[in-house]
Amino acid sequence: MAFSISHKEENGFSIIALQDDAGAEVQIIPNYGALLHAFSVPHGTGSLNLIDSYASVADLQAGVLGSFKSVKLSPFACRIKDGTYNWQGKDYTIRKSPIHGLLFDQAFSLIKEEATDSFAEISLEHHYNGDDPGYPFPYRCEVQYRLLPEQTLQVTTAVFNLHNTPIPLMDGWHPYFTTGTPVDKLELQFTSTSIVEFDEKLIPTGKVLPFTEFNAGKSMNGVSLDNSFMLDFEAPAPLCTLTDPEKKIRIEFYPDKSYPVLQVYTPPHRNSIAVENLTGAPNAFNNGMGLVTVEAGTSVIFQTALKISGL
């Protein structure tokens, strides 16, 4: 199999595309939060894009603060209650959005691209300088997208602490998936041990409750979710699957242990569904659930993968 990389302009976006000669294509928009714009695979007589992204730059600029579709979530994901937290004895208040971090609308720079007979990959980076008074800790975020055989996409994030003291971190990404079929006709399966209990504002109460309702898979008909689940890494991979029985296609998720939390969100329009790999639960900067401490001068790595298969 041969892989290739191309650069193109579409609908106002500067896109980098990773391709294989079997027809799979991954599209990335570096200038907007290292956004995953498309993961298209051959289907029927054409191709099918499994990512619910933005139609244009204007669509993105109008909608990113409402959906945060497919952007990088760093240095925190989900919510920080009231945007405030205490770190090493000092109180901080996020000036930007208290939801989904500080990099979701930032430009990433291309630092590497490579195509071989085994894969096509790009690495993107953003240097955060500590500009927000609520997170005055400089760090470098590097995101690698690698297209592999068998319609598999591996996503690796590395965070390098450039500050002179330890920094708090919660990492994630925010892809919305669609097969073109309404969510109510899809089936979701994931192997979990528990669910994080939320209050009415979707902030964890501190309790984690047993939960195995989706272990065997179930229809999404009438099911609404905006919840965090603790994955069971003792179960065989994939740890999550999203299946379209009508189109006979399945999305498989392969997070490693750096992403113990699965966040699932069904938007009101129910034309797509967000399935997110996270290092921690919402409000991790306050409750410590999955909060990662990155020591000065060190780095941490998080990795997950998607595979598109037929039934």
Q: Which of 111, 156, 199, 145 is nearest to 36 (CA)?
A: 145
CA distances to 66, 83, 174 from 77, in Å:
14, 12, 9
Domain around 294: 3-310
Q: What are phi and psi of 94, to 5 degrees?
A: -65, 130
Q: Are 277 and 264 in contact (CB under 8 A)?
A: no
List the CATH number of the domain containing 85: 2.70.98.10
Q: Could you give the number of structural domains in the chain?
A: 1
The kind and range of the H/E element at 37 are: strand 35-43
3-state secondary structure of 297: coil
Helices (H), ranges, the chain: 57-67, 284-287
Per-residue pLDDT of the chain in tens (311 residues, 90 and over written 9): 899 999 999 999 999 999 999 999 999 999 999 999 999 999 988 999 999 998 888 888 887 767 888 899 999 998 999 999 999 999 999 999 888 899 999 999 999 999 999 999 999 999 999 999 999 999 999 999 999 999 999 999 999 999 999 999 999 988 999 999 999 999 999 999 999 999 988 899 989 999 999 999 999 999 999 999 999 999 999 999 999 999 999 999 999 999 999 999 999 999 999 999 999 999 999 999 999 999 999 999 999 999 999 98
Going by DSSP bridges, is the β-strand pair 187-190/90-93 parallel, antiparallel, or unpaired? Answer: unpaired
CB atoms within 10 A of CB 221: 11
Rounded Cα distance between 56 and 168, Å, is 34
Interval 225-240: pLDDT, tens: 999 999 999 999 999 9
Q: What are phi and psi of 173, to 5 degrees?
A: -145, 165
Read off the pTM: 0.96
Going by the DSSP 8-state scheme, the letter that residue 158 receives in this structure is: E
